[in-house]
Structure 1
Amino acid sequence: MIILEAMILAKLTVSDLDLDGKKVLMRVDFNVPIKDGVIGDDNRIQAALPTIEYVLNHNGKAILFSHLGRIKKEDDKPALSLRPVAERLSNLLNKPVTFVPVTEGAQLEEAINNMADGSVLLVENTRYEDVVNGEYVKRESGNDPKLGEYWASLGDEFINDAFGTAHRSHASNAGIADAMRKDGKPVAAGFLMEKEIQFLGDAVNNPQRPFVAILGGAKVSDKIGVIDNLLDKADKIIIGGGMTYTFYAAKGMNIGNSLVEEDKIEVAKNILEKGGDKIVLPVDSVVAKEFNNDAEHKVVEGDIPDGWMALDIGPKSVAEFEDVLKDAKTVVWNGPMGVFEMPNYANGTLEIGKFLGTLSGATTIVGGGDSTAAVKQLGVSDKLTHISTGGGASLEYLEGKALPGIAAIDNK
């Protein structure tokens, strides 16, 4: 896949820059869950710390940009302010963080001009720019070039460390990068971005073999591009989750009331024909009478009986999948094996996560919200090689698509 290989050519990174006394614009991913001003999970803030601390230790002025949630009307703004993030970041860095409650204008410019070397400033949620004077204009998420140019004018260098938004062409990533380049200013990857490019790029283009991909989730349509791209690269592709039953339908099996994408049955047939024994499907399922944790449920092999719906893989599937995985040297996992948020149908996902934590001598990469939540719940995160911070971005990367946020970083 030429696109992907071009993306992992050596990119300029933060360690290539002269940061001393420079105003360093940084796109980070602080899109964390916040309810009533309280942050639920600060993993994304923690993931950005190595790059921020590196800039500060080299006397740079760190000027941070991030989005938070989606803003479509003025009323959305108060609950989606980054102020609580500034407070958490200050605690984690153990130093003051200047929070500027606007995204442009004299207040922001003055605050930046007053920064001392080695200090940190966080700009208000970049998506405040999507609603101007009560109108939904999408200046940030529509990549308004004037906004990118304005933000670029505030700094000497730009570091993109937000892999989670690398698949989006927004003013705060691609827009700033384009404007910086026009002005002859450097655009580099932060350490987190560099790590994502390295692990996902190596896994897809230069894997240690056997290379096994585990793909779960509800819809075949979300994963067609990934399966297509990986069919030529992986030694085995394990399929679980709701999309299993579109493949069952493609094989002419009974699926009862299970989730199925009727318009993707032909696509699934083609994948099965092309993939042959590379594709590994579940052999048994946990089925329930209705989509409810407390519904009557049981394990069945093969066909799903009428009146029942499959909501997880069964124990024989777990054993078969573990048998495929036990000799793997590279594993990429994206998507749950069942309805992970319901405890009675979470076992397949948890068992796979647990088993990945036991593989020694293998590169194990996990991406996607539910898969990531599973390995964290199990406490095996530290036994895995890499947990990707980008759900949609890592999927598009695995599809071999060019990601605007990465394409916009200077090559060395």
Structure 2
Amino acid sequence: MTSNDIPVRCRFIVSHTCSVVLSEHMEQWLRHTQGLGDDVCYLILIILFSFIQFHSLVALSACNFNLGKLMGHLLNLLHGTVFLNKMYFNDCPKLLKRKTCSYYGKSGKFQRYNGAPLALQGSGELANHVASSINHKIYISNGGELNGIPHIRTLREFPREELFGKVVMVRFDSNILLKQECDKETQSVFNAVYTIKYLHEARAKVILVSDWNMNTPELQLESVADFLSAILQTQVVPLQGISCNKLSKMNDLEKENIHLLNNLSNIKEEVANCFEFARVLSYGVDIFVNDSFSNSHKVLASTVGVTRFCYACIAGFHFEERLSLLKNLTEASRKPYVAIIGGGNLYDKASSFQFLASRCQGFVFVGMMSFQVMHALGVSIPHNLVDHKVFNEALDVVRLCRDRNVQILYPKDFWCRHKCDPKQLQVFPSQAILDGWVPVDLGPVSLDEVGSMLTNCKKIIWIGPVKFVDSSKYTDGAFKMAKILDQLSQSNCEITVVGTMACKLLRQEKSSLSFINMIENASVVWEFLKGRKLPGVMAVDRGYPFEINWNNIYSDPAQSLVVDIGSGNGFFLLEMARRRPDLNFLGLEINEKLVLRCLDSIHQFDIKNGYFVATNATSTFRSIVSSYPGELVLASIQCPNPDFNKPEHRWRMLQRSLIEAVVDLLASNGKVFLQSDVEAVAIRMKELFLRYGKGKLDLVHGQCNGSQSEWLEENPFGIRSDWEKHVLERGAPMYRMMFSESSKGSLS
């Protein structure tokens, strides 16, 4: 068989997609397909490409595969006898466990769920040979999947000792803390109060900020300060006005007091997320704590804008607990899962049904939206109740439910009020409402059907009010619905109720034995269900979503650790791991594709003291490295953020939170190695480490008293990264420095 015998489509792909050498490999493999049809060869080629795409040419040469055996596997695959991952080498134990935020009561402790698939956040599937060796899966990021809420940094995980003496601004939720009927025993109030008290007890200088109704005389600034003082049992001092001068005096204020800024309600710059207003609002603030979950769907200066100016932005206890409830809506393991949908405005909420239909087995419509769905189903209803503008959306919902096998339950009867005599009420079947009558509440048959459908449910979400035309006075149906849910909650049914009206009814009806999750702000949930990102959540710093099993990563996890921050293609770290088997090496790199290649090299060369993690080290360094059982003896940052067209952007990675985390975790006599090919970047790194190093770091090798132009002449490790080689080969200098807690290091 000659190369000319290879099917035309296969040769076209080879010649137009591969390099010359890869073409030779492909043609060699394709010769084993003699006698197969063109379509079969084409399919084999696609499989081969999926195999090759994660391998470098060197790796291909080193693999030394038995081609006949490989083709045998491929042919077996075509006949359905083996799976693709059977081709690869071995199955190693799990390395990572996903952290979750299942919230349990007032203890503030979160259950860690160990059964989730192991994953890295990303946009593509991991190569099978990597997946089999480290048992990872990469989630595909697409708009339809909504369980991709980022894992954020929380006050619970933030080092308590780092709060001492810091100026901390808390954006609290006035809808939770400023209610006249504020009940400290409810979960929301308890967590909101606990956030502030926790910070105060940690000796932070706390500034409170929020918005509230200006039309209520009882809610003037001084009155609000007194009200909060009573709840917190700590003096809250009002600060009139918002200015840099006023906030800059926070260092002189007494730590024993908590301070309250003026109401943001009528400040237009707040709603506009004004850059200058956010800068003034956060002036002198070290840490921002967002505890106003009800504003997560808005872009405000006090929730989003201020995060640009604070070195750490984290979620409070209330925010974290509310977010965990939101995440819980995506879990569909408990079935049947039914959504009770009230309210109206189908046009605005139509996109949310994609999410609900992907998880729920049934929809129960109990509001004005039900008439549009009934119309799409062909049920005869009064013309004045039909919104023809949303007919297509209603039809899409019906088709979606049909395609997903989701049951639809709509009201079969209504309590109706006569237009001319509001006191006259009568029950009508839904398809036989007479002229002059308007529906105001669910009828008895409808409520019985709802109760029957929900009886065997294991999970329920109720979002949107049981509300019809002018039905504010008629709430009997909603009350009965609340009773049904209260009873179901006592029989192992997980229930989440969304919306102010529904939550209020549940509080009145629920017994002491029931447990129902309640989220008052429905707007946040609807935005989430539509697949939109919540600005207030996205503005908070990221955390690392996994617990790392170090015992399965390193042969000896007790060895001292070296961390390369921004490890790139991993050449430096891989060579260091080869030369120093007495140390463990960890690369933290935000580029997922580079991490995949590095993990592939770890697997191919059987490196037992090296590993790489796809993460943003700026926010996750502390949570990752603090769990390591051994000592951190070296942290390195080499040529950060290599945007070669914009070198001024290279120091964005090096923020105060990262420097403090490195300094806090560095072992006694540990080292920090920094280098860059841009002098301004190197000078900036040096200044930042000296500024935020808490006085624990000293420059070594005679750099302390020298000028800024004095750098380490040689790489102290004798191993150069690819970019370092490139810089030196073109005759350009590298600017290197070494910090240490002592005059001598253990690695030099």
Would you say same fold, with TM above 0.5? yes
CA 1:109–1:46 in 2, change beyond 3 Å: closer, same or farther? farther
Give the conservation status (yes or no) of the 8 Å contact 2:351–2:530: yes
CA 1:99–1:204 in 2, change beyond 3 Å: closer, same or farther? same
> Are positions 1:101 and 2:240 aligned together?
yes
Unaligned runs of 5+ in 1: 131-138
Q: 1:5 aligns with which of 127, 147, 151?
A: 147
Q: 2:480 aligns with which of 351, 366, 375?
A: 351
**Residue correspondence of structure 1 range 112-151 to structure 2 within 5 A:** 112-117=250-255, 119-130=257-268, 139-151=269-281
Give the conservation status (yes or no) of the 8 Å contact 2:288–2:312: yes
CA 1:119–1:261 in 2, change beyond 3 Å: closer, same or farther? farther
Cα distance, 1:271 vs structure 2: 0.7
> Are positions 1:330 and 2:468 aligned together?
no
Cα distance, 1:48 vs structure 2: 1.6
CA 1:361–1:33 in 2, change beyond 3 Å: closer, same or farther? closer
Query: Larger C-alpha radius of gyration, 1 or 2?
Result: 2
The one-letter amino acid paired with 2:148 is A
Cα distance, 1:216 vs structure 2: 0.3
- Matched residue SS, 2:255: coil
- Count residues in correspondence: 388
Q: Deviations over 1:169-192 (max 9, x none)?
A: 110001012332xxxx11111111
Q: Distance in 2 between matches of 1:291 and 1:174?
A: 51
Give the conservation status (yes or no) of the 8 Å contact 1:246–1:265: yes
More divergent stretch after superposition (265-274 vs 41-50): 41-50
The one-letter amino acid paired with 1:274 is L
State, as a whole percentage, how many aligned pairs show the same letter: 26
Cα distance, 1:47 vs structure 2: 5.3
Please report the RMSD computed on the Cα atoms of aligned residues, expressed in angstroms.
2.8
Q: Deviations over 1:129-185 (max 9, x none)?
A: 31xxxxxxxx110101122222233311111111100000110001012332xxxx1
**Residue correspondence of structure 1 range 193-272 to structure 2 within 5 A:** 193-256=319-382, 259-272=385-398
Give the conservation status (yes or no) of the 8 Å contact 2:218–2:224: no
Q: Deviations over 1:27-51 (max 9, x none)?
A: 11114798xxxx5444676652121
Task: Give the TM-score normalised by structure 1.
Answer: 0.85
Q: Deviations over 1:104-137 (max 9, x none)?
A: 3434443x3333335321111123431xxxxxxx
Give the conservation status (yes or no) of the 8 Å contact 1:30–1:85: no
Unaligned runs of 5+ in 2: 1-140, 544-748
Q: Distance in 1 between matches of 2:519 and 2:261?
A: 25
Q: Distance in 1 between matches of 2:338 and 2:323?
A: 19
CA 1:140–1:261 in 2, change beyond 3 Å: closer, same or farther? same
CA 1:124–1:382 in 2, change beyond 3 Å: closer, same or farther? farther
> Are positions 1:411 and 2:542 aligned together?
yes
Q: Distance in 2 between matches of 1:400 and 1:159?
A: 25
The one-letter amino acid paired with 1:10 is H
CA 1:118–1:80 in 2, change beyond 3 Å: closer, same or farther? closer
Question: Which structure would you say has the larger RCO, counting Cα contacts within 8 Å and 6 or more residues apart?
Answer: 1
Q: Distance in 2 between matches of 1:391 and 1:348?
A: 20
Q: Deviations over 1:224-272 (max 9, x none)?
A: 2322321112111211112211222223333337644221122112211
More divergent stretch after superposition (90-99 vs 283-292): 283-292
> Are positions 1:299 and 2:438 aligned together?
no
Q: Distance in 1 between matches of 2:418 and 2:211?
A: 41
> Are positions 1:173 and 2:303 aligned together?
yes
CA 1:140–1:105 in 2, change beyond 3 Å: closer, same or farther? same
- Matched residue SS, 2:339: strand
CA 1:104–1:271 in 2, change beyond 3 Å: closer, same or farther? same
> Are positions 1:15 and 2:145 aligned together?
no
Q: Distance in 2 between matches of 1:149 and 1:313?
A: 51
Q: Distance in 1 between matches of 2:457 and 2:320?
A: 25
- Who is 1:50 aligned against? 194
- Matched residue SS, 1:366: strand
Cα distance, 1:88 vs structure 2: 1.6
Task: Give the TM-score normalised by structure 2.
Answer: 0.48
- Who is 2:506 aligned against? 375
The one-letter amino acid paired with 2:265 is R
Cα distance, 1:92 vs structure 2: 1.0
Q: Distance in 2 between matches of 1:272 and 1:265?
A: 11
- Matched residue SS, 1:187: strand
Give the conservation status (yes or no) of the 8 Å contact 1:31–1:67: no
- Matched residue SS, 2:156: helix
Give the conservation status (yes or no) of the 8 Å contact 1:331–1:363: yes
- Who is 1:85 aligned against? 224
Cα distance, 1:79 vs structure 2: 8.3
- Matched residue SS, 1:16: coil
Q: Deviations over 1:363-398 (max 9, x none)?
A: 211111211121123245983332114221122122
Give the conservation status (yes or no) of the 8 Å contact 2:381–2:430: no
- Matched residue SS, 2:533: coil
Q: Distance in 1 between matches of 2:459 and 2:291?
A: 25
Q: Distance in 2 between matches of 1:82 and 1:323?
A: 51
Q: Distance in 1 between matches of 2:204 and 2:279?
A: 21
Q: Distance in 1 between matches of 2:209 and 2:473?
A: 40
CA 1:208–1:268 in 2, change beyond 3 Å: closer, same or farther? same
- Who is 2:523 aligned against? 392
The one-letter amino acid paired with 1:392 is S
Q: Distance in 1 between matches of 2:279 and 2:500?
A: 33
Cα distance, 1:65 vs structure 2: 1.3
The one-letter amino acid paired with 2:231 is L
Q: Distance in 2 between matches of 1:177 and 1:380?
A: 41
Q: Distance in 1 between matches of 2:427 and 2:302?
A: 49
Q: Deviations over 1:300-326 (max 9, x none)?
A: 223122221111111111121122222
CA 1:377–1:403 in 2, change beyond 3 Å: closer, same or farther? same
Cα distance, 1:90 vs structure 2: 1.0
Give the conservation status (yes or no) of the 8 Å contact 2:170–2:289: yes
> Are positions 1:316 and 2:455 aligned together?
no
CA 1:381–1:88 in 2, change beyond 3 Å: closer, same or farther? farther
Which of structure 1's runs of 4+ aligned residues deviate more than 6 A?
76-80
Q: Distance in 1 between matches of 2:337 and 2:542?
A: 28
